[in-house]
Amino acid sequence: MGPDDNDVFPGRLVEGRFTHIRDGDTIEINGIPVRLAKLDCAEMGTSQGAVAKRRMLQLAARQSGSCTLTGRRSYDRWIGECSLQDGRDVGDVMLQEGVCARY
């Protein structure tokens, strides 16, 4: 169960395990869906969307990390930026590797 609207504010830090990878630019940490703020990945159902999801799975699936939420939502997802346990920003990695575009 994710935070409700009263628990989310700009800069809120969520730490834990990445529990689900929805696609290239949406992951879940401790079951909380986070839309990665800086990424624009191809949609699922396309070959590039599958590539983006596969790379995100390699990077983050079942890994520990953290997400800083902006306090805004996109559909059922909180918008934020997430980092892996080693400190790398997940969005930056995807951009540097050319897997996704900047949003």
Residue 51 CA to residue 39 CA, distance in Å, equals 14
Instruction: Give the pLDDT confidence of 49-73 residue by residue, as tens digits.
Output: 999 999 999 999 999 999 999 999 9
What CATH class does 5-98 carry? mainly beta
Say what the pTM is: 0.89
Instruction: Give the pLDDT confidence of 9-57 residue by residue, as tens digits.
Output: 889 999 999 999 999 999 999 999 999 999 999 999 999 999 999 999 9
The pLDDT of residue 6 is 65
Q: Which residues contact 77 (CB under 8 A, 6 or more apart)?
A: 26, 33, 34, 35
Task: Map out the domains of the chain as residue ranges.
Answer: 5-98
Q: Which residue has the higher pLDDT, 6 or 49?
A: 49
| Beta strand ranges found along 52-99 (DSSP E) | 64-74, 77-84
